[in-house]
Structure 1
Amino acid sequence: MLVQETNKLFPIFLKLEQLSILIVGGGNVGLEKLTAVLNNSPLTKIKLVATSINESIKALAAEYPTIELFERPFESTDVDGADIVIIGINDKTKSAEISEVAKGKNKLVNVADTPDLCDFYLSSVVQKGNVKIAISTNGKSPTVAKRLKEVLNEAIPAEINNVADNLSIIRNNINGDFSEKVRQLNDLTRVLVSKQMTLEEQNKPGQKRWQKIVKYCLFAFFFMIIGHTILSYVPVQRLVDSIKTIPNYIDTKMFLMMLLCGFLAQMSDGSLGMGYGTISTTFLLAVGVNPAIVSSRVHAARVFSSGVSGYSHHRFGNINKKLFKALVIPGIVGAVLGATMAYFGQKYATYVRLPLSVYTIYLGYYILRKAFSKPSYEAKVKRAGWLAAVGGFMDAFAGGGWGTLVTSTLMSKRRSPRYVIGSVCLAEFFVVFMSSVVFFILLESLPLWDIAGLIIGGLIAAPIAARLVGKLPIKTMFILVGTLVILTSCNTLWKAIMNLIA
């Protein structure tokens, strides 16, 4: 009978910071092994020996006082005092000799790319706070382990660490014997594997604070507009007569056109993370709206659509909290400055759109190229705060660009489209809200009936778009985003050039 081969390795988690490690090898493999140890146990005592040590290892060792470097050939006495030996050199014969010396002194040995000489393997690790998952393919394919790590890292929300912390508190407060505690914890955690409930829904009410903040801000801004409209158009002493005249202020044809524009713009922004400002601004200019007030109208409408969109993305688990926090405050600062400058110097917005359009056209091409290239997840976004500040400024000052600039840049670095779009959309609400408040204060009035169609159309589209973003394949997302960025940026560039010529 043919017996299927299985993984017979016994998984354990070592307290490396209580042990000593010897690493032999100072090249890229040695750097990879050293980094793996430090990422999991940064205070581990490490001795690294190699005939040549590259600069990256030296720079890393300068940050960790527990690392000792010896730039010389390996000596048998190097093994003394080490609990574990990791060999990462490009010489199989020499690796075998060092392994034999280490095993002769009863040390556990790992030899890079040589499973037969290994007593243990270094696994790919997924970590969410205190929760850690190690993946092994029994030495068959490190690539498969890395891909599984990427999948699990995206699939498991960061909130799982909060769940573990909460359950630890609950466990310490449960009374009864061991079997009773196990039974109660089983009852509490059974819901986590139910198809009808997500981890986010199991968190404490305080962990949903961003959803509540969005709702409170929406209500506050809504009543600001309603109150302003009532005081502006409906004198208190003639309230009944004024209510009867409200329909006279509504242009039904314009309202329906705005409704369609708001729906299409929010479908683009909610599902692709960009395009609302660009599409709405282009449409308003096309129907003859004064450029000086386009940005204020678009932002007033976006407060509601972006609020619903951000709330929906949070509800569907599309938010990367670390990325969101890196974007929101700088984005708000940029938006406030942009809205202020837009009020005092709107005529210069055309000049700002020229370099922005050229940059986003290149990003569109870059994203399209990424869609057809082999996946690479190594690139990281640096200085995301500055990116958000510039995006918020451009968005408020030039009438659009938050999604196009911020989302395009993040996705061009091959970040997960689902979490990029969700995080950017949630941050967008706070950015747009603050710029709208500035416009509300600086302008004498906001044309409520002109933006009502944009608001309602966006509210209808927002939850649909948030649901759609988790369903589209990644390659399709990149193609759609890249194409949209190029088309809308070319249109913006053309409009800006024509305005300058005129």
Structure 2
Amino acid sequence: MIPLMLDLTARRVLIFGGGDVGARKAAFFEHEAEVTVISRSFSPDLDGLAIRRQETDLSALPDEALRGFLSGAFLAVAATPDSGLNDRIGRLCAEAGVLFNNAAGEPGDVTIPSVVRGSRFLVAISTRGKSPAVSRYLRMRLEADYADLDMMIELQEEIRPMLRETEPVQAERARILWEILLDDEIRAALATDYGRARALAIERYLHA
């Protein structure tokens, strides 16, 4: 597997299973994709999510009915407690050319990562299903240790065009931006006073 960032705007994502696992998967996709959850019952965790619901007993459906659901889908997630049913959905996805994630059963061709998300960055973490605890640990550490990252990205975005006007050598510009990133006083200031952090960066690295 290789990591990719995909734009799922207006893409159809199907979640088979409306329990707690299905609700977590739906919450992952609902901000961007057109999500439909297919199940005979639905977790309260789905309430308030921007999703469609299709009530049906999946275990009673023949393959042809499942293929009908898959028509036009970009990605499907099997999140039922029945691994045999999940695997059957996966085989049908392979036949239809639909990307597939399996919450329980034979691995699909898509892994849904743990995500650290800021307003200006996105980090995805995966242990390929081997240790969800490690994925969660890494996410928690990144959230705690790099709480200033959004502000640092904003500062770097503001400083870069200033550097292009004063420093003609790209390698030197890259070095200066790296120095700003590693400056503990600037990072500390970012947590409470962006203006001060910006002034420090300009004074120390643009007017040296």
TM range (shorter): 0.7 to 0.9
Seen in structure 2, the aligned counterparts of structure 1 residues 203 and 26 have a Cα distance that, compared at 3 Å, is closer
Identify the structure with the greater helix proportion. 1
Q: Residue 434 of structure 1 aligns with which residue?
A: none
Seen in structure 2, the aligned counterparts of structure 1 residues 96 and 163 have a Cα distance that, compared at 3 Å, is same
CA deviation profile, 1:330-361 (whole Å, cap 9, x unmatched): xxxxxxxxxxxxxxxxxxxxxxxxxxxxxxxx
Alpha-carbon distance between aligned partners in 2 of 1:173 and 1:192, rounded to the nearest angstrom: 16
Q: CA deviation at 1:133?
A: 1.5
Contact 2:93 2:100 survives alignment (8 Å) = yes
Identity %: 21
CA deviation profile, 1:444-487 (whole Å, cap 9, x unmatched): xxxxxxxxxxxxxxxxxxxxxxxxxxxxxxxxxxxxxxxxxxxx
Out of 152, 155, 158, the position equivalent to 1:163 is 152
Larger RCO (CA under 8 A, 6+ residues apart): 1
Q: Residue 50 of structure 1 aligns with which residue?
A: 39
Secondary structure of the equivalent of 2:101? strand
Q: Residue 89 of structure 1 aligns with which residue?
A: 80
Seen in structure 2, the aligned counterparts of structure 1 residues 182 and 201 have a Cα distance that, compared at 3 Å, is farther
Out of 29, 50, 54, the position equivalent to 1:70 is 54
Seen in structure 2, the aligned counterparts of structure 1 residues 139 and 183 have a Cα distance that, compared at 3 Å, is farther
Alpha-carbon distance between aligned partners in 1 of 2:192 and 2:150, rounded to the nearest angstrom: 13
Q: Residue 199 of structure 1 aligns with which residue?
A: 187
Seen in structure 2, the aligned counterparts of structure 1 residues 173 and 204 have a Cα distance that, compared at 3 Å, is farther
RMSD: 2.7
Q: CA deviation at 1:203?
A: 7.9
Alpha-carbon distance between aligned partners in 1 of 2:191 and 2:136, rounded to the nearest angstrom: 29
Seen in structure 2, the aligned counterparts of structure 1 residues 183 and 17 have a Cα distance that, compared at 3 Å, is farther
CA deviation profile, 1:351-380 (whole Å, cap 9, x unmatched): xxxxxxxxxxxxxxxxxxxxxxxxxxxxxx
Q: CA deviation at 1:162?
A: 1.6
Secondary structure of the equivalent of 2:48? helix
Alpha-carbon distance between aligned partners in 2 of 1:60 and 1:202, rounded to the nearest angstrom: 34
Out of 116, 138, 141, the position equivalent to 1:126 is 116
Unmatched tracts of structure 1, length 5 or more: 1-8, 210-502
Unmatched tracts of structure 2, length 5 or more: 59-65, 198-208
Alpha-carbon distance between aligned partners in 1 of 2:192 and 2:164, rounded to the nearest angstrom: 22
Out of 146, 150, 154, the position equivalent to 2:136 is 146
Secondary structure of the equivalent of 1:190? helix
Q: Residue 5 of structure 2 aligns with which residue?
A: 13
Q: CA deviation at 1:22?
A: 1.0
Contact 1:17 1:43 survives alignment (8 Å) = yes
Contact 2:125 2:139 survives alignment (8 Å) = yes
Matching of residues 53-452 of structure 1 within 5 Å: 53-57=42-46, 59-61=47-49, 64=50, 67-74=51-58, 75-114=66-105, 116-157=106-147, 159-172=148-161, 174-175=163-164, 180-181=169-170, 183-193=172-182, 197=185, 199-201=187-189, 206-208=194-196
Count of equivalent residues? 188
Asked which structure has the greater CA Rg, the reply is: 1
Seen in structure 2, the aligned counterparts of structure 1 residues 86 and 180 have a Cα distance that, compared at 3 Å, is farther
Contact 2:86 2:104 survives alignment (8 Å) = no
Secondary structure of the equivalent of 1:163? helix
Out of 15, 21, 33, the position equivalent to 1:29 is 21
Seen in structure 2, the aligned counterparts of structure 1 residues 101 and 205 have a Cα distance that, compared at 3 Å, is closer
Contact 1:171 1:181 survives alignment (8 Å) = no
Which one-letter code corresponds to 1:72 in the other structure? Answer: T
Q: CA deviation at 1:201?
A: 4.1
CA deviation profile, 1:408-432 (whole Å, cap 9, x unmatched): xxxxxxxxxxxxxxxxxxxxxxxxx
Which one-letter code corresponds to 2:126 in the other structure? Answer: S
Q: CA deviation at 1:77?
A: 0.9
Seen in structure 2, the aligned counterparts of structure 1 residues 24 and 183 have a Cα distance that, compared at 3 Å, is farther
Q: TM-score, normalised by structure 1?
A: 0.34
Contact 1:163 1:203 survives alignment (8 Å) = no
Seen in structure 2, the aligned counterparts of structure 1 residues 144 and 103 have a Cα distance that, compared at 3 Å, is same
